[in-house]
Every structure is written in structure tokens, then in C-alpha cells.
Amino acid sequence: MEKIGLLAGVGKLPVEFARAAKGMGFAVFAVSLVESVEKELAEHVEKIEQISVGQLDAIFEFLKQNNITRVTMLGKVTKELMFDGKVVFDDRMKKILVALPDNNDDTLMLAFVRELAIEGITVFDQTALIRSLIVKEGTLTNREPTIDEKADMEFGFKMAKAIGGLDIGQTVVIKNLAVMAVEAIEGTDECILRGGKLGRAGVVVAKVAKPKQDVRFDIPAVGIKTLESMCAVGAKALVMEAGKTIVVEKAKVLEIANKNGITIVAL
């Protein structure tokens, strides 16, 4: 049985991956990078160990002890952990951070990928085993967007691509062809809540891949939490990038959207 590694963050995506990998005959060895990783993950992996994202040597040692030469990284590990003082960095992580030209997402992730490569460990495409979760072009929900919503979707798509090109985030909140909020370090859900509050009811959320998206990390994903955040502020539309966005627990996502009159479109 072939072994693969999973570096897991928050959310259902690591669970979906581990379930799919197990079904394909892979033995998954997982590292839980944060305490709030889904407990269900343990049911679908060969072995799991909690090691803080700041303890690089310990992460690498776990992978090498289990003869793991290929890993993927899935789930949310927010960058704010770098600044809130709750994560303790080992000497190796400190050395990497000091040498970086900036702390943008891609800069951090590429540095991590390079360190894995030094240890003989390759990072593979996040979607390699879960391509069925990638959304296809079209309207996913019962309700089609209105003319105004469609205009905001197209505008939001363009704005989200622009901030993605700057490696700031992947999500924007739009209303009446104006940007209400841009995702940064706080993450998608907080961006939606902030933008929804500013735009009041009827905002449109746009989430896309970066123009130069590295498929080994940070693939855009939408899930139940995304819809719950939208419902909390009365958002009425969501646009995603077809062929490049993952929808986790799609049936439940669409159930929530249809129940609340939200239209979801993949462009």
C-alpha cells in the first residue's frame, strides 16, 4: 500500500481528501497543524499526530519516520498565527522567517515547499485525488442571478483576480459595482462578514484562484461555513471560478443556498 502524507488544517477538506485517498488504496499519514482540525480525520488515516505548524523539525521527523516522500497540504491555517503569539517557532522556522523578503502567502508556502524538498519530500497537487470536488461552469442553485447580481459577479470576479495577482487574498465582497471588502489576513469568512455589514443586505461574494495559482497550495475552496457567513449578513449571490474552485459538502452547501434564496454561479 502506497503511503502519502497530509499536512492538515481546519475544515472538512482534509477529511474529504483522506476519505478519497483511503478509498483509492493509499495509506494516509497526517499531521494536524492546529488544534481545531476535524476529529473525523482520524477515522480515515493510518496515523495522525498533532504537531504545531511552527515546529518544522518535528513535522519533518514524523514524515521521515513513516517513510513519507510525498505530501499534500489541505485545510485552513491562517497567517494570523504568526502574529498572535500562540504559535511557538522552532529554530528552523525562525531561520526561514528571518530570511524571507516578505510574509506574503506564496512567499511563506514556497519557503515551506523548499524545506520539504531539502528533506526529500515532494508536495503534490492539492486536487490530485479530489478532482470531483472542483466546480464546473454554470449556475449551481435553483435561482439564476438577476441582471444586477450578474454585473456584480463579473465585476467581483475581475477585482478578486486583481488582489490575487498581488497575493493579498482570493475573495472580495461587492455591491452595486463597488468593493465593500477585500480578503487579507483575516480569511474569507471574516471578509464576508465585514463586507456584508458595510454593504448591508444583497451583497455579492466573489472567490477565485490567483492568476498564477500554485496547485500545491491555497486552492480556493467554498464550504458550509462560507454559506453560513453569507446568510448571517444577507448576502444574495456567490460567484466562483469554474475549473479551479473546490466545493466541500456540495449537497449541503446548495441546500443552504436554495433555502435562503442565494444564487451560486461558477464562471
Say whether both 144 and 211 belong to one domain. Answer: yes
Report the candidate in 257, 241, 23 with the shortest Cα–Cα distance to residue 130. Answer: 23
Q: Are residues 238 and 160 in the same domain?
A: yes
Domain containing residue 56: 3-123
Supply the pLDDT for residue 222. Answer: 96
User: Is the pLDDT confidence value at 261 over 80?
Assistant: yes
Q: Which of 93, 123, 153 is the last residue of a domain?
A: 123
Q: Note whether 40 and 113 are same-domain residues.
A: yes
Global model pTM greater than 0.75: yes
| 118 shares its domain with 142 | no
Can you read off the three cell numbers belonging to residue 250? 456540495
Regarding whether 144 and 258 lie in a shared domain, the answer is: yes
Residues 77 and 159 in one domain: no
The span from the CA of 172 to the CA of 237, in Å, is: 12
Q: For the chain, what is the mean pLDDT? A: 94
Residue 83 pLDDT > 80, yes or no? Answer: no
pLDDT, position 204: 98
- 103 in a domain, yes or no? yes
Res 84 pLDDT > 90: no
Say how many domains are in the chain.
Answer: 2
Q: Which residues contact 170 (CB under 8 A, 6 or more apart)?
A: 160, 163, 164, 183, 188, 207, 208, 209, 210, 218, 220
Tell me, yes or no, whether 81 lies in a domain.
Answer: yes
Mean pLDDT to the nearest integer, 196-206: 95
**For cell 524571507, what's the residue?**
100
Q: Among 95, 123, 151, which residue terminates a domain? A: 123
- Helix, strand, coil shares of the chain, percent, nearest 5, are 40, 20, 40
Q: Grid cell 522556522 — which residue? A: 93
Cβ pair 153, 206 in contact under 8 A? yes
**Contact indicator for 126, 7 with CB cutoff of 8 Å:** no
Distance from C-alpha of 193 to C-alpha of 191, rounded to nearest angstrom: 5
Pairwise CA distance, residues 161 & 207, whole Å: 9
Last residue of a domain, one of 98, 123, 148: 123
Q: Which of 3-12, 101-110, 225-234 has the lowest mean pLDDT?
A: 101-110
Domain shared by 140 and 262, yes or no: yes
Q: Is residue 128 part of a domain?
A: no
Residue 33 lies in a domain: yes
Are 216 and 124 in contact, with CB atoms under 8 Å apart?
yes
- Is the same domain home to 261 and 139? yes
Tell whether the model's pLDDT for residue 29 goes beyond 90.
yes
For residue 30, what is the domain's CATH number? 3.40.50.20
Spatial distance between the Cα atoms of 88 and 94, rounded to a whole number of angstroms: 10
Q: What is the pLDDT, as a whole number, of residue 217?
A: 84
Q: Are strands 263-266 and 138-139 parallel, antiparallel or unpaired?
A: antiparallel
In the chain, % of residues over pLDDT 70: 98
Tell me, yes or no, whether 184 and 260 share the same domain. yes
- 96 and 177 inside one domain: no
What cell was used for 94? 525562525
203 and 110 together in one domain:
no
How confident is the model at residue 86, as a pLDDT?
75
Q: For residue range 129-175, what is the model confidence (pLDDT) as tens digits?
A: 999 999 999 999 999 999 999 999 999 999 999 999 999 999 999 99
Residue 82 binned pLDDT confidence (cut-offs 50, 70, 90) = low
The CATH number of residue 167's host domain is: 3.40.140.80
Whether 211 maps to a domain, the answer reads yes
Same domain, 113 and 167: no
| In-domain check, residue 179 | yes
Categorise residue 187: left if φ over 0, alpha if ψ from -120 to 50, beta otherwise: left
pLDDT for residue 78: 75
User: Cα(21)–Cα(5) distance, rounded to whole angstroms?
Assistant: 10
Domain annotation covers residue 158: yes
Q: Is there a domain that residue 129 lies in?
A: no
Cell numbers of 90, please?
522552532
> Rounded to 5 degrees, what angle do the CA atoms 203, 226, 252 make?
115
Rounded mean pLDDT of 243-264? Answer: 97
